[in-house]
Amino acid sequence: MITAGVDVGLENIKIVILKDGKIAAKSEGPAGGAGRGRAAEKLWEETLNKAGIQAADVSKTVATGAGKYDVAFAGDRVVEVVADARAARYFYPNATSVVDAGADQVRVATLGEGDKIEEVVLNQKCSAGLGIMLKYMGRRLGMTLAEMSALAPDAAGGKTVNDGCAVFTEMDALELLNRNVHKKEVAGAVVQTVICRINAILKDKIPPAKETTVFIGGMTRNTAVVDGLKARSGIRFLIPEEAQYGCAVGAAVIASDR
Amino acid sequence: MSKQLWETRPLEIWGRAKALRARWQKSIDESAEQENLLLAHGNTGEVDWRESFKGLNIIEDNPVGAMMASVSDSFARKARLASEIRGWGREICGYVQNCWGVQFLGYQLDNSPFPLRDMCVPFSDPCDQHTKRGQQCMDFSPIPRWGGDWMMYLGERDPQREVEMIEERVYNTLKVIDDIERIFGIEFDDEKFVESIKAHRQVGEYALKVTQSMTNIPSPLGQKDLYSFYTLGGLTKVAPDELVDFWKSFSDELQWRIDNHIAAVGNERYRWMEAHPSPWHYLRYYRYMEQYGAVCVGSQYSHMMAGPIELKPDGTMDRREMIPRPAGTEIRTREDAVRAALTEARGHRFKDDEYFRLNAITDFAKGFKVNGALMPLYRGGVGCTLTRKEQGLQLSEIGVRVMHYEGSQPGDRTDLDERRFMDQLDTWMEGQGLRKFEE
């Protein structure tokens, strides 16, 4: 059986094709802003080519993510946190919690028996601590995401910026730059604020288990954030190789049920 | 509607409710044209004495501010801006900012001049900005302002302390009435006051039955409709006898619906509660939730119309009496009426203290047999948000699924992200294994 999951995020689209429960092909591309429906179709063609199949060979396609209603070729939709939960159990059958940190959302789900979700926590509206803020601040500081990812744990050198509001984060960062603080230290402080924010969401209701919590989403590519979050939260996250495709994988698994 | 489980139909009483509401609106519109004094007030509070003054018209800033935000967002924004540039911060209640912003603008939504108030008696509340309530109009005109003293209650409840607090409030209320009589030379009608307090007590009894009816499965009434009714008699002033009769008819109709299994939502399979509504222009989320077979069965915000209620050992919600009323106590004088109203009101004030807020919300969830709770986190009117996160944790501990969402305040739609709110609702419901029926 061949199924597909399409995760249309704010920044990137991720598509996964599952064949008999195994990942047969995966692709990632920019979301394309208002044209994300077209961007998804283009990426869909690429992924089909990678898998060496036609669209008609796919039994069902489920879309998820902020742009899930823009995916015309999907037969069904699922909310992101349900896809996250299925992905966590796909990668690690004994998983008890899943954290998905991306461009505009941080989601934490506590998993119950079977497909049941016991609890969900989402970030509130402010983009503080999210991937989109990290990207924006990188641009402000003249650093790439890769450079920010490579920052050492103590890069901040004791400097701090506001972790409650992205606007205040930027103001604090600018103030540090105006005091001639090196941009790497400022970037380190920004990374720390991201870590604090995600950690607060992690601990909002039911603290995740130390050994059986899965971490997925685009933020897993940022080594500085992942290492810092591990240290601060005390959680030894399970991070699958296809972590940034997690939500799409979950959608593809759900497609095989529907 | 898919998966119909019970019959559903509109309430018969809607026509009467709309007529009462229209009369109240007319009284507001005509206030400025009359020669009477105008009183600015936040809400009724615990003792409704104002109607008993001859030659006094009341304009409450809460409902006026709420209506403004619903009718014209652009005008409400203009009003709030007028208030903000005079130094009144965004943390202040949206109702207050709307209402007094219009004062600063000088004209109302229909271009008519703002009716300047002659006095104000704001009710204070745990919301910190309510201590400043009334200051906008007091400074502007200037006019006399009295403070409705409303003490915070910290720690465990203590009956003796309750008595002392009530006596202080009795003194405070009587003094306000005396002062107004003396300063403005207008007459207070004690007989009318005693009758109105008695009527208010009767309305409370019927409102309690309405509240209790919503513990039934299926609920005969949804929260969206209750929000329309609960102001009738609380905020909306018409003849006392008419209100008593209206609430009796309302309560009777709900009992009839229970007896005949008439549901507010015909496919009810999920019950949720809330602590406050979203901004008033956006009540369509109740209809959206019906697609999941979900009905909102109550809110502390509106059920306070029923007076003090609590969860009884048998699982029912019934009258809370912090200080038992001595048998045979009759209301004859102004002081009797003030004391009786305050004694009965004491104990339902879920806003009063952190201890009671937390326990009250879990009791509420159990009594109304809810599966979930929607809890807004509002930027303005901090009393609306005080302890909401703690309440959410308490509810989670007893198995109630909680969703928080952000907004400004029910009278200010600025910070409510409608699209995001809908997405959150989908996540919340699907995360609990429920999908819309049409899917």
Lowest-pLDDT range of B67-76, B137-146, B159-168: B159-168
Phi, psi dihedral angles at A247 (to 5 degrees): -65, -40
Residue A186 clears pLDDT 90, i.e. is over it: yes
Higher-scoring residue by pLDDT: A163, A218: A218
Assess contact for B41 and B50: CB atoms under 8 A.
yes
Task: For chain B, give the percent of residues with pLDDT over 90.
Answer: 49
- What pLDDT is attached to residue B42? 64
List every span in chain A annotated with CATH 3.30.420.40. Answer: 1-80+245-258, 93-239
- B99 sits in which H/E element: helix B94-105
- Select the more confidently predicted residue: B348 or B249: B249
The DSSP output letter for B382 is G
Q: Is the pLDDT of residue B163 over 50?
A: yes
Tell me which residue of B402, B381, B405, B379 sits closest to B391, measured CA to CA: B402
pLDDT digits (tens, 9 = 90+) for A78-92: 999 999 999 999 999
Cα–Cα distance measured from residue B278 to residue B223, given in angstroms and rounded to the nearest whole number: 12
Burial (CB count within 10 angstroms: exposed 0-12, middle 13-18, buried 19+), residue B137:
buried
User: Which residue in chain B is spatially nearest to A114 when comparing CA positions?
Assistant: B433
Burial of B260 (0-12, 13-18, 19+ CB in 10 A): exposed
Q: Which residues of B320-343 are buried (b: 16+ CB within 10 A; e: fewer)?
A: bebeeeeeeeebeebebbbbbbbb
Which residues of B fall below an 8 Å CB-CB distance to A?
377, 392-393, 396, 401-402, 404-406, 415, 417, 420, 423-424, 426-428, 430-433, 439
| The Cα angle at residue B232 between residues B231 and B233, in degrees rounded to 5 | 100
Look at residue B98 and tell me whether its pLDDT is greater than 70.
yes
pLDDT tens across B10-29, in order?
999 999 999 988 887 787 77
**Residues in a beta bridge with B40:** B59, B120
Number of CB atoms found within 10 A of residue B16's CB: 16
Which has more pLDDT, B47 or B427? Answer: B427
d(CA B213, CA B221): 8
- B44, pLDDT greater than 60: no
pLDDT of residue B348 exceeding 50, the answer is no
Residue B234 phi/psi, 5-degree rounding, is: -95, -65
The one-character DSSP state at B425 is H
Chain B residues with beta carbon closer than 8 angstroms to that of A78? 430
Instruction: Give the model's pLDDT for residue B249.
Output: 97
Angle, vertex CA B103, rays to CA B102 and CA B104, nearest 5:
90
When CB atoms are compared, the residue of A66, A117, A125 closest to B431 is A117
Residue A16 CB coordination number (10 Å): 29
Q: Tell me, what's the ipTM? A: 0.85
What is the per-residue pLDDT for B159? Answer: 78
Model pLDDT, residue B322: 67
d(CA A186, CA B421): 34
Top-confidence residue, A50 or B38: A50
Burial state string for B95-130 with b = 16 or more CB within 10 A and e = fewer than 16: bbbbbbbbbbbeebeeeeebbebbbbbbbbbbbebb
Lowest mean pLDDT: which of A4-8, B187-191, B301-305? B301-305
Contact A103, A9 (CB under 8 A): yes
So what's the pLDDT on residue B29? 73
Residues A121, B431: Cα–Cα separation, whole Å: 10
Nearest CA in chain B to A258: B439
Closest CA to B352 of B93, B126, B92: B126
Selection from A108, A127, A240, A47 nearest residue B431 by Cα: A108
Residue B371 CA: distances (Å) to CA of A226, B268, B396: 35, 12, 10
Chain B residues lying within 8 Å of A115, measured CB to CB = 433
For chain A, what is the total number of helices (H) and then of strands (E)?
8, 9
Contacts of A124 in chain B (CB under 8 A): 377, 404-406
* Residue B234 to residue B250: CA distance in whole angstroms: 15
Query: What does CATH list as the number for A1-80+245-258?
Result: 3.30.420.40
Would you tell me how many other CB atoms lie within 10 Å of the CB of residue B315? 10
Under an 8 A CB cutoff, do A115 and B415 touch? no
Average pLDDT score over chain A: 95
Q: How many C-beta neighbours within 10 Å does residue A54 have? A: 9
Instruction: Mention the CATH class of domain A93-239.
Output: alpha beta
Under 8 Å between Cβ of A218 and A145? no
Which ranges of B314-353 would DSSP assign to H, the alpha helix?
334-345
Mean pLDDT of chain B: 86
Best of A122, A165, A205, A257 to disrupt the B interface (most B CBs within 10 Å) is A122
Every domain of chain B and the residues it spans: 7-13+200-327+350-430, 32-156
User: Residue A172: what pLDDT?
Assistant: 95
Comparing A219 with B277, the larger pLDDT belongs to A219
Answer yes or no: are the C-beta atoms of B48 and B66 closer than 8 Å.
Answer: no
Nearest to B377 among A107, A124, A205 (CB): A124
pLDDT at B387: 82
Residue A30 phi, psi dihedral angles, 5° rounding: -65, 150
